[in-house]
């Protein structure tokens, strides 16, 4: 225990005992009670270590009162193990009880000495002598008081202290100012408490706690005051001092979201018309302390202070906002990296601590079992290797054929359509070759494991088994030499394509016309001639007799769209999209959105028309074009269509999408989501519960009280937590997201989505953050506990979880600025992705489903300068995966969905029933 603090709460143990009562908790859930008890116990220990015996006594006693209530619950037996885990066993509580007994003895002696020195003639009356003694205690109980006397009282804008610290005033200092009538006192207790007892001072008035709200300006707050209070409120600019007080707040531990904390913020930041003569001050100890020291200057000196003291702990507080009681509960990113590196060197087979197989060498049967196990495993590796090498060889042959045809590309100014399609095919084959290479590397690692075990058992191993391993290793080494040689050849060809592609973009941009580009116009006419006479399905027509429900500056109903459809009977949702000149990034995203069932149904049935907003920046044009295009994709009557109208409209609102350069599909998706949400942001929010949580307020601020189907489907909320490692203070901010961008490991050729999620949601040491509680700057560069940790959690899970993989990164080692691509082969689940480890306590208590199923992937092939996008999507109606490669749509084997080309993953949330099935 640190130096024992002066007594400041009560005068004897009986009074102190009165403050240990807990509120009625009969309706509280057991889990909530356990969390509250744990929090009270932690706060009590903290106060005990700080030498605050009175606060520690109150908190420890409350803890045992609450524990007694828990033990009396009917469901106590079923929670017994959980209670022991959270609150400790009987031995732990016995030690806590011993500490409470020691506190009782110590406080009893101290109160006896205090009362003896004060010469109290009557236990119920406070004499002048005792008042003087309490004044002395008031002056000495807070070390900052001596500092306050020496501070100058020069005018400061809005009462902000130069050193950034809150300015406190003691009861004696306030008393002296009251004698001179130079101070204005704002009492922000409730109006009921103020009516029961208040300062007997004409320049004191009530700012009721129930009218003080976050986000108010000083002017709005003034409007809510009564007439007498308004008169005194206007005197805040002419008085030497302005003092705020509540029941018992302290400037050292002022809670930011308490009424007095909010009032201070309003006066300091949102009162622009007033220049205060001195810093706004907080009455140390509040009215509770003042009425004890100067009872004759209070209208009712016998007033009873509310049981829950704001300087201690609010037992009924909402505890789900505290995510991590201890900073040690947060897993750090550095630890995860070290763990992954360690795991990569370990095998999946059981070994002893020495790395040797746990075999009883005296047993022949055990030894034979081990050999059979190794032989079977090596045979499986040999079979898998044979299949992989055969597929890699076929892939090589296709790559060589395409490479021969494309070698003449350097003699041309631009690529023709056929050559572009071959180049795109080349990129996809190259990506598959990279996947085969990664899989063969995995087999090599498994062989290395057995090779090492072979060396350990070499004296007794069958010779044939050793030869089998050497044979497989030889084939792998041969394949690695082939891969290394062809890598250079493919790189050269990719560079040629990048140059030709760049030239083509320049030519197209110079010759481009609105909506219809270059040579495509004649092709469009030819497509129309071929398709319209033979098809029975015409493009969807609008009923022109129906007027739009929202007045609009854009007559979307009369717009004639040119989809250039090519007819052909295909399954619904299996229509391709023509490449309009490096528009594959857009085609890929549109196909993924088209295979999002709720969104597709919203567009195809025209439900969206009832909710279009025409008053925003894009005036509803984006959603009109997206809906019209998705409707075309689901007619089932066209092999492929063109998205010219959508591309044209999008280009009007974002210049980067006007031309023919390759763009990033993730950037396009993020912008498109914001546009679609804005176009449909007309759904009125249901009234939020009062009081609103910080999460609710942030969500309301983002939505502006209007929501949309896009928001409901794709948007979630991240809680960003910063926790001080010294005082354990935890502050949080909230931010909405439409997708998560995850880092890929630097050096791993193969990784798992779980690793990326762990990295994203792990803690990071940060520097440059000032802790609001202990008021120290936290620096992550110090290898001590005096730092802060930042941690992310999901506060609201969206029904559709979109995950972006950050494959592109800036190459800082290159002489000229450039971007490179990470080719990691990422393993991700097609079913039952569980995100429960990454959600907040409050989201977990809402029992939100946390299992997701993959339904679409946006793929990127090639490099930053020359790339191609496709989409893998699961058609919900046909329950089958398909590959969408611009205008080509083909069936896809499930085993091909996972690849190193995966760039954006689309997951849909499973209902509890779906998760069980």
Q: What is the distance between the alpha carbons of residues 104 and 858, in angstroms, rounded to a whole number?
A: 67
- Name which of 420, 421, 400, 401 is nearest 412 in CA terms: 420
Length of the chain: 917
Whole-number Å distance between alpha carbons of 721 and 910: 28
Cα-Cα-Cα-Cα dihedral of 176, 182, 187, 191, to 10°? 110
Distance CA 450, CA 377 (A): 9
Is 868 annotated in the active site?
Answer: yes
Cα separation, 176 vs 180, in Å, equals: 7
Other C-beta atoms within 10 Å of 484: how many?
10
CA distances in angstroms from 665 to 230, 582, 685, 861, listed in the order given: 58, 11, 31, 12
From the CB of residue 526, how many other CB atoms can be counted at a distance below 10 Å?
Answer: 11
The question of whether 584 is a catalytic residue gets the answer: yes
567 near 853, Cβ under 8 Å? no
The residues, any chain, with a CB within 8 Å of residue 437's CB and separated by 6 or more, are 392, 483
DSSP 3-state of 642: coil
Phi first, then psi: what are they for 860, rounded to 5°? -125, 130
Place of tokens 């609103």: 692
- Quickly list DSSP for 480-537: HHHHHHHHHHHHHHHHHHHHHHHHHHHHHHHH--SSS-TTHHHHHHHHHHHHTTT-S-
**Residue 763 token pair:** 């803690």
Catalytic residue selected from 592, 603, 868, 873: 868
In degrees and rounded to multiples of 5, residue 4 shows phi and psi of -70, 130
With beta carbons less than 8 A apart as the criterion, state whether 37 and 87 touch. Answer: yes
Please compute, for residue 622, the number of CA atoms within 13 A of its CA located in the half-sphere on the CB side. Answer: 26
Dig out the tokens for 668 from the structure: 């396009």
**How far is Cα 902 from Cα 345, in angstroms, rounded to an integer?**
26
Q: Which is catalytic among the residues 584, 724, 751, 873?
A: 584
- Kindly give the interhelix angle for 30-49 and 80-87, rounded to the nearest 10 degrees: 20
DSSP 8-state class, residue 423 = H
How far apart are the C-alpha atoms of 884 and 587, rounded to whole Å? 8
- DSSP class per residue in 343-374: HHTS-SS---TTSS----TT-HHHHHHHHHHH
Q: Going by C-beta distance under 8 Å and a sequence separation of 6 or more, which residues neighbour residue 123?
A: none
| Secondary structure element (H or E) that encloses residue 446, with its range | helix 417-456
End-to-end CA distance of the chain: 57
CB neighbour class for 371 (10 Å; exposed up to 12, middle 13-18, buried from 19): middle
Distances from the Cα of 707 to the Cα of 613, 667, 751, 887, angstroms = 11, 22, 37, 34
SS3 769: strand
Cα angle 570-574-575, degrees, rounded to a multiple of 5: 85
Work out whether strand 716-724 and strand 788-796 pair parallel, antiparallel, or are unpaired: antiparallel
- What does the alpha-carbon distance between residue 85 and residue 69 come to, in Å, rounded to a whole number? 18
Q: Could you give the C-alpha distances from 678 to 67, 356, 472, 590, 782, in angstroms and in order? A: 51, 62, 58, 18, 45
Known catalytic residues? 584, 868
């Amino acid at each position: 225990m640190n130096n024992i603090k002066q007594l400041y709460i009560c005068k004897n143990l009986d009074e102190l005992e009165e403050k240990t009562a807990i509120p009625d908790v009969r309706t509280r859930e057991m889990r909530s009670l356990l969390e509250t008890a744990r929090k009270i116990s932690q706060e009590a220990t903290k106060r005990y270590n700080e030498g605050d015996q009175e606060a520690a006594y109150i908190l420890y006693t409350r803890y045992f009162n609450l524990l007694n209530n828990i033990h009396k619950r009917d469901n106590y037996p079923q929670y017994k193990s959980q209670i022991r885990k959270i609150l400790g066993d009987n031995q732990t509580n016995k030690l806590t009880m011993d500490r409470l007994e020691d506190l009782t003895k110590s406080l009893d002696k101290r109160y006896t000495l205090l009362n003896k020195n004060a010469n109290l003639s009557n236990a119920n009356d406070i004499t002048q002598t005792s008042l003087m003694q309490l004044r002395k205690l008031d002056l000495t109980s807070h070390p900052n008081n001596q500092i306050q006397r020496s501070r100058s009282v020069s005018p400061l804008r809005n009462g902000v202290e130069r050193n950034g610290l809150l300015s406190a005033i003691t009861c004696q200092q306030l008393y002296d100012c009251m004698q001179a009538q130079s101070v204005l006192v704002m009492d922000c207790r409730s109006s009921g408490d103020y009516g029961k007892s208040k300062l007997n001072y004409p320049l004191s008035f009530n700012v009721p706690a129930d009218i003080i709200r976050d986000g108010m300006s000083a002017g709005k707050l003034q409007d809510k005051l009564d007439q007498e209070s308004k008169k005194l409120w206007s005197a805040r600019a002419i008085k030497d001092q302005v003092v705020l007080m509540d029941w018992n707040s302290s400037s050292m531990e002022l809670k930011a979201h308490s009424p007095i904390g909010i009032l201070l913020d309003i006066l300091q930041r949102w009162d622009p018309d007033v220049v205060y003569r001195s810093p706004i001050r907080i009455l140390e100890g509040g009215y509770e302390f003042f009425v004890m020291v100067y009872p004759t200057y209070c209208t009712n000196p016998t007033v009873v202070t509310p049981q829950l003291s704001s300087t201690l702990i609010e037992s009924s507080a909402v505890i789900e906002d505290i995510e991590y009681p201890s900073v040690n509960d947060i897993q750090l990113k550095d630890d995860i990296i070290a763990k992954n590196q360690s795991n990569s060197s370990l095998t999946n087979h059981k070994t002893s601590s020495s790395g040797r197989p746990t075999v009883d060498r005296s047993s022949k049967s055990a030894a034979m079992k081990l050999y059979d196990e190794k032989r079977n495993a090596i045979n499986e590796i040999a079979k898998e290797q044979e299949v992989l090498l055969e597929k890699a060889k076929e892939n090589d042959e296709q790559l060589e054929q395409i490479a021969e045809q494309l070698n003449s590309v350097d003699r041309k100014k631009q690529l023709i359509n056929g050559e572009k399609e071959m180049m795109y095919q080349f990129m996809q084959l190259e990506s598959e070759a990279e996947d085969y290479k990664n899989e063969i590397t995995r087999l090599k690692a498994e062989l290395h494991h057995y090779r090492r075990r072979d060396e350990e058992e070499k004296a007794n191993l069958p010779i044939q088994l050793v030869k089998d391993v050497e044979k497989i290793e030889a084939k792998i080494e041969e394949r690695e030499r082939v891969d290394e040689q062809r890598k250079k050849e493919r790189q050269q060809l990719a560079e040629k394509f990048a140059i030709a592609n760049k030239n083509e973009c320049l030519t197209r941009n110079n010759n481009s016309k609105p909506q219809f580009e270059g040579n495509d116009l004649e092709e469009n006419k030819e497509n129309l001639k071929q398709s319209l006479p033979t098809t029975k399905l015409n493009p969807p027509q609008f009923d022109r007799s129906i007027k739009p429900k929202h007045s609009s500056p854009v007559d979307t109903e009369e717009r004639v769209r040119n989809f250039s459809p090519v007819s052909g009977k295909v399954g619904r949702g299996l229509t391709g999209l023509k490449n309009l000149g490096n528009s594959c990034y857009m085609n890929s995203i549109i196909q993924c959105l088209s295979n999002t069932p709720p969104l597709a149904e919203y567009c195809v049935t025209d439900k969206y028309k009832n909710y279009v907003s025409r008053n925003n920046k894009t005036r509803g044009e984006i959603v009109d074009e997206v809906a019209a295009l998705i409707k075309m994709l689901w007619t089932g009557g066209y092999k492929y269509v063109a998205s010219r109208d959508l591309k044209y409209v999008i280009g009007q609102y974002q210049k980067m999408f006007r031309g023919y350069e390759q763009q990033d599909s993730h950037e396009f998706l993020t912008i498109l989501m914001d546009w679609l949400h804005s176009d449909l942001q007309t759904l009125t929010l249901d009234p939020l519960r009062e009081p609103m949580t910080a999460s609710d307020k942030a969500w309301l601020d983002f939505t502006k009280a209007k929501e949309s189907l896009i928001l409901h489907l794709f948007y979630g909320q991240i809680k960003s937590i910063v926790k001080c490692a010294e005082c354990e203070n935890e502050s949080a901010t909230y931010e909405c997201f439409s997708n998560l961008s995850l880092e890929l490991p630097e050096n791993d050729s193969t990784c798992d989505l779980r690793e990326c999620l762990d990295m994203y949601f792990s803690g990071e040491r940060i520097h440059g953050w000032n802790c609001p509680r202990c008021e120290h700057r936290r620096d992550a560069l110090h290898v001590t506990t005096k730092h802060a940790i930042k941690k992310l959690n999901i506060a609201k899970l969206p029904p559709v979880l979109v995950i972006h993989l950050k494959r592109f990164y800036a190459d800082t080692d290159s002489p000229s600025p450039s971007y490179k691509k990470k080719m990691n082969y990422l393993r991700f689940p097609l079913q039952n992705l569980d995100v429960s480890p990454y959600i907040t306590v409050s989201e977990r208590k809402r029992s939100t489903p946390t299992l997701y199923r993959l339904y679409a992937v946006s793929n990127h092939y090639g490099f930053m300068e020359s790339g191609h996008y496709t989409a893998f999507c699961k058609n919900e109606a046909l329950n089958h995966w398909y590959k969408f490669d611009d205008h080509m749509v083909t069936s896809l084997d499930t085993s091909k969905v996972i690849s190193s080309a995966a760039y954006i993953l689309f997951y849909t949330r499973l209902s509890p029933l779906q998760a069980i099935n």
